[in-house]
Amino acid sequence: MQTSQLIGEHEPKERAPWPDPTPEMLADPKFEKVWQRIKPWDINVPEVYGGYMGATGNHVRAIMDALEGNGG
């Protein structure tokens, strides 16, 4: 997975509330399906950083954790 540079303001406001995906998550076909869908997206999480950035595995993990009831 590729992490894109932030677009716009680059100063993080607080630590992102989601951790890196685990190796097991990266091997999960559901994780891969979400990744394939969102990887071209630019995402803005204003409470964490200013501006937009390309989707990352951390964003996929946040989605997967939410679906499992393990996070915000």
The CA-atom distances, in angstroms, between 31 and each of 15, 19, 50, 63 are 23, 14, 26, 9
pLDDT digits (tens, 9 = 90+) for 25-69: 999 999 999 999 999 999 998 888 889 999 999 999 999 999 988
Is the whole-model pTM more than 0.85?
no
